[in-house]
Structure 1
Amino acid sequence: MPITAAICNVQRNQPALLRLFNGPNSLNRVLPMACRPRRRARPLGSSRHLPLPIASTAICTDANLLSDAEAIRKLRKLRHSSTPVRLCNLARLRQHSVGPPSTPSESIGNAHREMNAEPLHDADFDRIVFASEHLTVGQFRARPDHPRFANSGPATGYLIVFPRTVVGIQHEGCEPFVSSPPTANFYNRDQRYSRRRISSEGDRCDWFSPSQALLRDVLSELGTSPASADDAVFKLSHAPCPARVYLAQRRFVQSCVDSSPPDVLGAEEFASNLALHFLDPRYCSETPSRRRRQRGQHRRRSLERVEAAKDLLSRHYMENWSLSEIADQLDCSGPHLCRIFRASCGLRMHAFREQVRLRCALERLADFSRDFSSLAVDLGFSSHSHFTFAFRRAFGCTPSALLGSRGRSSFPIVSRAR
């Protein structure tokens, strides 16, 4: 059976969820809802057969007739036209084509080098779980032994990222920081960055990519806006993530993974509230006074110690180390470490470690079923009751109540920070 692939590009920051499909009459399973034709699709083979209501370009090719190189040549011509072109899923196409298959990394890597194009949501790392005109949601997974782990390419859009493992991140031209579950990371469009292995699990995170139009509306609501379209929306690389915000986004992503995604309105409302929360100047803004305060309070050595402490607490969260034991490992005094840690992170080291433990508990609830006592001890809590109390205080419900609510399609809406 011939296998048909769609190479489809939607306007910048309006990515579509693309999938391979079989047969000539399966167009409705490939194009997003807004792009579906009103009549039955004609046999594929020419882009003029594809009525696209929004500005986009689609090329459909038969895998048995058109090679990767030929597709790239055609796409290169379109790349210089007024409508941008995005290359997607050639690696997955090759896995199902006749002849010896190539690896996903080879196909994607060769395609990117041939096109000399800006990076895309990479099939090697990204799994898109929801897509609409103004929002794309996905899961990022990078094994520590992957050849591109240290540098997987610049960000393809504006990203709000919720880490699920501990990894070192450094934005180009900025100081490195430890990305861990108690933080949220921010990437502007085309942001270049590198990562450093800390956890044996590599880099696992969930990400939300709002469109530029949605972000401009959010900034307008907050009474500010970038001077131009190329200005950075996010002024900080990362910020503390409240427990209830973390739980809300986990429920949202899980509902998409469980094949029960919310409707477009609910999803974009959720993303808008997320952006409002993290872009609110009262919560996360780099004003001149803040920069002066940071220069006076957090010298380079102090910041390095804070990041080292976050690294230590994130990797060894199950250990009940004392303050002196942690300070000795960082070659500083306990009181000094407490002061600079709270000034930088906004919470005490004990609270930071507890947040890491509770987010790890979310990952492992299903594995321990109802045996929460064993889970509590494994995470470093003194008892079942201590674990349940901390869990309810952070997430607003007990572990058993959260397990009982799984499978529901509803998810909490993040309220704007006050």
Structure 2
Amino acid sequence: MSQFTVQPLLDTGTVRVRDIVCSGECRHRSDEECSAATHLVFPYRGVFVRHVGRNDVVAEANQLLFFNAAEAYQVSHPVEGGDACLDLVVEEGQLRELAPKGQLRTGDRLAFHRQGRRIDPRAQALVALLRHSLSRNVAETLEAETLALTLVRRSLGEHTSHAAGASPGRQKLVDRTKLVLSSDLSRRWTLAEIAVEVGVSPVYLTQVFQQVEAMPLYRYHLRLRLARALDLLGRYDNLTTLGMDLGFSSHSHFSSTFRQVYGRTPAEFQRSIGSR
């Protein structure tokens, strides 16, 4: 059985959108692969690590990954559970128009300097809205194309995304921390527990994470949990159960936190992805 299931959601001359689910059977590095076009990959469930030469990046729901055309890479799944991603291929001329020049390598071939960027909550919500609307067949083509380009524009925006920059040692510490958090999103972690897992003091952990990600560790973890909620809203009828399953203390806590981050309650978002 293949490790992958691929569901085509949209294919026009401007953008192609696919939903890709991987079972994560490959715990260690896979064989090298490369793609024919540049893909923008938005993980929305689970976690994996992408390796390009000696450069690694942890792929989870706070990230956008760039799979540059003809660039060899490997993938591993150090955390069980596999992953799922929304995969976008934008027509090259349109992508060049959307991408800030500082993010692109020089040369004829379109390629991004970095493996990925962190996206903001609005971009996460757009990922969920685009995927749910297309999979439920409630978005018309023009609407879906507009949503997809809006998602790309926001995810590449200098004021709405973040490219982590740090020494290799600090980046590896932050990456290990992300894997720990992703291993159990519903767990109410303490700093001491995470610090033990990654082998540093709580003070050092918080300092380094803030420096690398420009965001407190607790907020990063919260966004991972809320992104999981965006993924699951199409499956849960009981939102109180969803909130409790993700480690929130009550429905009101879940609902108010969700609204603070995404600008609407879980129930309102759930209605927005229903039949229209």
TM-score for the superposition, normalised by structure 2: 0.87
1:119-134 residue pairs with structure 2 within 5 A? 125-134=5-14
**Does 2:264 correspond to 1:397?**
yes
Q: 1:363 to 1:275 in 2, by over 3 A?
A: closer
Per-residue deviation, residues 142-173 of structure 1 (Å, max 9, x unmatched): 22237999347312322221112333323422
Corresponding residue to 2:107 among 204, 211, 228: 228
d(CA) in 2 for partners of 1:373, 1:272: 33
Corresponding residue to 1:360 among 228, 231, 247: 228
Equivalent residues of 2:5, 2:20 under 8 A apart: yes
Per-residue deviation, residues 5-33 of structure 1 (Å, max 9, x unmatched): xxxxxxxxxxxxxxxxxxxxxxxxxxxxx
Give the aligned partner of residue 310 of structure 1. Answer: 178
Q: 1:275 to 1:229 in 2, by over 3 A?
A: farther
Q: Which has the larger radius of gyration?
A: 1
Displacement of 1:191 in angstroms is 2.5
Equivalent residues of 1:130, 1:136 under 8 A apart: yes
Residue identity in the other structure for 1:230: R
Give the aligned partner of residue 196 of structure 2. Answer: 328
d(CA) in 1 for partners of 2:221, 2:53: 29
Give the aligned partner of residue 31 of structure 1. Answer: none
Per-residue deviation, residues 339-372 of structure 1 (Å, max 9, x unmatched): 11122222111111111111212233344313x3
Give the aligned partner of residue 271 of structure 1. Answer: 148
Per-residue deviation, residues 246-266 of structure 1 (Å, max 9, x unmatched): 1112211222212233324x4
Equivalent residues of 2:80, 2:183 under 8 A apart: no
1:236-251 residue pairs with structure 2 within 5 A? 236-251=114-129
Q: 1:227 to 1:361 in 2, by over 3 A?
A: closer
Give the aligned partner of residue 215 of structure 2. Answer: 347
Residue identity in the other structure for 2:140: P
Residue identity in the other structure for 2:72: R
3-state SS of 1:154 partner:
coil
Q: 1:193 to 1:387 in 2, by over 3 A?
A: same
Displacement of 1:338 in angstroms is 0.7
Structure 2 unmatched runs, 5+: none
Residue identity in the other structure for 1:198: P
Q: 1:223 to 1:345 in 2, by over 3 A?
A: closer
Q: 1:190 to 1:238 in 2, by over 3 A?
A: same
3-state SS of 2:33 partner:
coil
RMSD of aligned Cα (Å): 2.8
Instruction: Kindly tell me the number of residue pairs found equivalent between the two proteins.
Output: 275
Give the aligned partner of residue 137 of structure 2. Answer: 259
Corresponding residue to 1:166 among 16, 30, 46: 46
Equivalent residues of 2:123, 2:154 under 8 A apart: no
d(CA) in 2 for partners of 1:148, 1:393: 38
d(CA) in 1 for partners of 2:210, 2:27: 36
Residue identity in the other structure for 1:183: Q
Give the aligned partner of residue 63 of structure 2. Answer: 183
d(CA) in 1 for partners of 2:28, 2:210: 34
Give the aligned partner of residue 209 of structure 1. Answer: 89
1:132-171 residue pairs with structure 2 within 5 A? 132-145=12-25, 150-151=30-31, 153-171=33-51
Displacement of 1:272 in angstroms is 3.1
Give the aligned partner of residue 66 of structure 1. Answer: none
3-state SS of 2:126 partner:
helix
d(CA) in 2 for partners of 1:241, 1:196: 22
d(CA) in 2 for partners of 1:285, 1:301: 19
Per-residue deviation, residues 298-351 of structure 1 (Å, max 9, x unmatched): 332221111111000111221112112211221111121111112222211111
Q: 1:259 to 1:283 in 2, by over 3 A?
A: closer
d(CA) in 2 for partners of 1:282, 1:398: 25
Structure 1 unmatched runs, 5+: 1-102, 106-122, 410-418
3-state SS of 1:317 partner:
coil
d(CA) in 2 for partners of 1:199, 1:209: 27
3-state SS of 2:233 partner:
helix
3-state SS of 2:76 partner:
strand
Per-residue deviation, residues 224-243 of structure 1 (Å, max 9, x unmatched): 776432252x2221221211
3-state SS of 2:45 partner:
coil
Higher strand share: 2
3-state SS of 1:259 partner:
coil
Residue identity in the other structure for 2:108: A
Per-residue deviation, residues 89-112 of structure 1 (Å, max 9, x unmatched): xxxxxxxxxxxxxx8x6xxxxxxx
1:24-63 residue pairs with structure 2 within 5 A? none
Q: Considering Cα pairs closer than 8 Å and 6+ residues apart, tell me whether 1 or 2 has the greater RCO.
A: 2
Aligned-residue identity in percent: 22
Displacement of 1:203 in angstroms is 2.5
Corresponding residue to 2:187 among 298, 303, 319: 319
